[in-house]
Amino acid sequence: MNPIMIRVLFTRKEEKAVFWQCFADIERANHLLGKVLIRIGIGGEETEDWYRDSGYRD
């Protein structure tokens, strides 16, 4: 199964912390995410990739 890719672009660094909190809430509530690749960018530049296997369940 291919990972879900989420591209997130922020205008300010502070927005990144808010995103991670929201993502953690989604992950706790929904364990069907499976493999997730998140590409993060701040100010229009891609800065990092984050890869996680959230434990896919059918």
Q: What is the 3-state secondary structure (H, E, C) of the chain?
A: CCCEEEEEEECCCHHHHHHHHHHHHHHHHCCCCCEEEEEEEECCEEEEEEEEECCCCC
Mean pLDDT value across the chain: 69
Q: What is the pLDDT of residue 2?
A: 67
- Predicted TM-score (pTM) of the model is 0.46
Average pLDDT over residues 41-51: 68
Judge whether residue 48 has pLDDT over 70. Answer: no
Query: Using one digit for the tens of pLDDT, what is the confidence trace for 12-37?
Result: 777 877 888 877 777 776 655 567 77
Judge whether residue 50 has pLDDT over 70. Answer: no
